[in-house]
Structure 1
C-alpha cells in the first residue's frame, strides 16, 4: 500500500490547512487525529488480517514523511504511537511475541504513547531516574517524572519504565510496562508552550505511585547497554520514523523554496524571476542535493530492518546516523529555503517561519549530535580505554 492511498491528497490538504491554527493557538491536533484514525492511519503496522495496513518499517517511514510535509507536529506526535506498534511488529518478525497485544489493541482503536524520557537522564533506555517498586502480586508501582510525552491529551496506553534498584543483587533492574488512561497515580501537566512542534502537546507526566499490573509488565532488563531485542526494536523504529518526519520537513521546505524563487522578481534586473538568478539557483540546487542524499539512506536503513539484515555491531551506528543526517539536513534545507524566500518568511504566520521553528526540535531528540558521534566512533574504533 502506497502512502498516497493512506494519505490521499484531500486528507493531506485538510491536515495542512489546520497546521497553522494549531501552532498559533498552541492546541492539540484533535481533528487531525480523528481523521487519521478514521482513515486507518494509526494501524499502519497492524496485520491486514486484523484490519490494518500490514506495512513494514520502510513503508511506514514513507507515510510519515508524507504526513510531515503537511503538519510536522502532527506527524511527530503520531510517531510515538507508531513507534510502539512498530516495535511490536519488529519483535514479532524476529519470533518475539511479547508485544503482540500492542498490535491487537491498536487494531481495536487504542492509542499508544511513550513515557520514557526523563530530564537529565542521558543514559536514555539504559538507566532510569524513575523508581519501580515491586508489589506482592507481581506488579510494580512507578514514581518519577517523564518529559516530552507526546499525545498527552489522547493516549489510552502509556509505555513507561523505571528502575528497581534492589533487584539483581543490588545492581538494579529496568522494568517496562504499560498503564491505561484510567490508571490511578499519575497526572499530566499542561506545560507544553514551546518554540515549535506545538500541536504535539508533549506535556510532562508525573508518575506518583502509578501501578502497572503484572500482565502489563513486558520486560525486565539489567541496567546498562544490552543486546535485548526490545532495545534494538525501539531504536530501530524511533530513529527511522523520526528521520522520516524530518525528511518530510526538508521536502516541504524545498518545494516552498522553488515556489518562492519562481514567484519573486528582481527590480534591478527588470522584473526577471529570481528563478533566473545564479545565486538563488545555487541555493535551490544545494537544498535539492542535500535531500537527494538523505532519501536513499533512509530507505535502505529502514528496509534493512524489514529484511532482518544483520549489521552486527554497526546497527546502532546506522540508526543514529540516519536520524542525525535527517535532522541536520532538514535544518540546512529549511535555512536555504528561507534565504531563497526572502524577508517575507521572517513574518509570523508564514509556513517557512513555522517550519524553521519545528525543525529545531530535531537536535533534542535522542540520539543527539554528541551521542550519535560517540555511538559511531565506538562502532568503528571500539570503546574508549579506561
Structure 2
C-alpha cells in the first residue's frame, strides 16, 4: 500500500477539517484518533500476519508526513505510539525480540505513549531525574515528573524510565518499563495550554510510587551513553518520525502559500496576480528549493534504518542532523509562506497562522539545536579536550 492508500484523500480532508477547531478549543483529537484506529493506522508497524500493515520506517515516515499536512498536532501525538511500535519493529529486524509484546499488544488495540521527557534533564535518555526504587519481587516503584506526555487522554500503555541510584555499585542504573492506564500511583495534570500543537494534549504526568511489575520491566542500562540497541532504536524512530511530521508542516505551508499567491492581486499593477511578481516568485522558489533538499534526506535516513545500514559512529549525527534540518527548514518555509500570503495570514484562525505556531514546537524536541551540533562536532572532530 502507498501513503495515499493508507490515508486516502477523503479521510485526510476530514482530519484537516477538524484541525482548526481542536486548536481553537485546546481539545484532544478524539474524532481523528477514532478514524485512524478504524483505518488500522496505529497498526502500521505491526506485521501483516498479526493484522497490521507490516511497514518499515521509510514507509511510515512518508505516511506521517502526509498526515501532518492535514493536522500537525494529530500527527505529532500519533508519533509517540508509532515510536514505540517502531522501536519494537527496529529491534525485531535486528534479532532482538525483547519488545515483541508491544507489536502484539498494538495488534490487539493498545495505544502506547512516551513518558520519558523530564524538565531540566538535558541528558535525555542517558540519565533520569525520576527515581526507580527496586521492589522485592523484581518490580520497581517510579517517582518523578514526566513532561510532554502526548496522547495523555487516550494512551493505554505508557513507557517510562527512571534511575536506581544504588545499582551497579552506586554508579546507578536506568530502568525502563511500562505502566497501564489502570496502574495506581500516577496522575495526569491538565496543564497543556500552549502556543501550538494544542490538540496533542501533551500533559504532564506525575509518578508517585507507580509500580511496574517485573514482567513489564524491559531494560536496565548503565547511566550515561550506551551502545544498547534500545537507545539506537528510540533515537532512530523518534528523530525520523519527528522529522517526517515537520516535513509535512513545511510541505503544507508551501502549498497554502502557492494557492494564496495565485489568488492575490495587486491594486497598483491593475489587478495583476502576485504570482507574476518577481519578489514573490523568488520567495516561493526559495521555499520550494528548501523542501526539495529535505525530502531525500528524510527518505535516505529512514531507508538506511530499514536496510540495517552500518554507519557506525555517524548514525547519531545523521539522526540529529535530520531532525534539526527538518524542523528548521519547516520553520523557514512557513515564514516564507506567510511573507508571500499577506496580512490575512496574521489573523487568528488562518491555516498559516496555526502552522506558524505549530512549527515553533520543533525547536523544543530532542535533540535540541545545541545538543545536535555537539553530537555532530564530536563525531567529526572528537570530544572537547579537558
Q: Which residue of the partner structure matches residue 279 of structure 2? A: 279
Counterpart for residue 36 of structure 2: 36
1:125-179 deviations in whole A, cap 9, x for unaligned? Answer: 0000000000000000000000000000000000000000000000000000000
Please list, as runs of the form range in 1=range in 2, the aligned pairs for 1:1-386 lying within 5 A after superposition: 1-386=1-386
By how many angstroms is 1:26 displaced?
0.1
1:323 positional shift: 0.5
Report the CA distance between 1:339 and its aligned residue.
0.3
Q: How far apart are the structure 2 equivalents of 1:52 and 1:382?
A: 43
Give the whole-Å Cα distance in 1 for the aligned partners of 2:138 and 2:338. Answer: 55
Distance 1:243 1:36 in 2: 20
Deviations 1:308-346 (CA, angstroms, capped at 9, x unpaired): 000000000000000000000000000000000000000
Structure 2 distance, partners of 1:225, 1:44, is: 30
Structure 1: how far apart are the matches of 2:155 and 2:11?
22
Alpha-carbon distance in structure 2 between the residues aligned to 1:385 and 1:99: 38
How far apart, CA to CA, are the structure 1 residues paired with 2:122 and 2:182? 30
Return the offset for 1:385.
1.2
**Deviation per CA, 1:4-54, whole angstroms, max 9, x where unpaired?**
111000000000000000000000000000000000000110000000010
Query: What CA distance in whole angstroms lies between the structure 2 residues aligned with 1:14 and 1:190?
Result: 27
* Alpha-carbon distance in 2 for matches of 1:262, 1:190: 42
Aligned to 1:169, the other structure's residue is in SS state: helix
Q: CA deviation at 1:90?
A: 0.2
In structure 1, what is the Cα distance between the partners aligned to 2:337 and 2:162? Answer: 42
Alpha-carbon displacement from aligned partner over 1:213-243 (angstroms, at most 9, x marks no partner):
1000000000000100000000000000000
Q: Aligned partners of 1:255, 1:157: CA distance in 2, in Å?
A: 37
Residues in 2 aligned to 1:382 and 1:315: alpha-carbon distance in whole angstroms: 15
Distance in 2, Cα, partners of 1:213 & 1:13: 43
Instruction: Please give the alpha-carbon distance, in whole angstroms, between the structure 2 residues aligned to 1:210 and 1:306.
Output: 35
In the alignment, the residues of structure 2 paired with residue 383 and residue 132 of structure 1 have an alpha-carbon distance, to the nearest angstrom, of: 31
For residues 28 and 284 of structure 1, what CA distance do their matches in structure 2 show? 33
Structure 1, residues 292-322: CA drift from partner, whole Å, max 9, x if none?
A: 0000001000000000000000000000000
Aligned residues: 386
Gaps of 5+ in 1: none
Deviations 1:81-134 (A, max 9, x none): 000000000000000000000000000000000000000000000000000000
Q: Distance in 2 between matches of 1:382 and 1:236?
A: 22
Deviation at 1:286, TM superposition (A): 0.3
Alpha-carbon offset, residue 69 of structure 1? 0.1
Aligned equivalents of 1:44 and 1:243: distance in 2?
A: 18
Task: Tell me the secondary structure at the aligned position of residue 292 of structure 1.
Answer: helix
**Distance (Å, rounded) in 2 between the aligned partners of 1:383 and 1:97:** 34
- Which consecutive unaligned segments of at least 5 residues does structure 2 have? none
- Counterpart of 1:348 in 2: which secondary structure? coil
SS of the residue aligned with 1:194?
coil
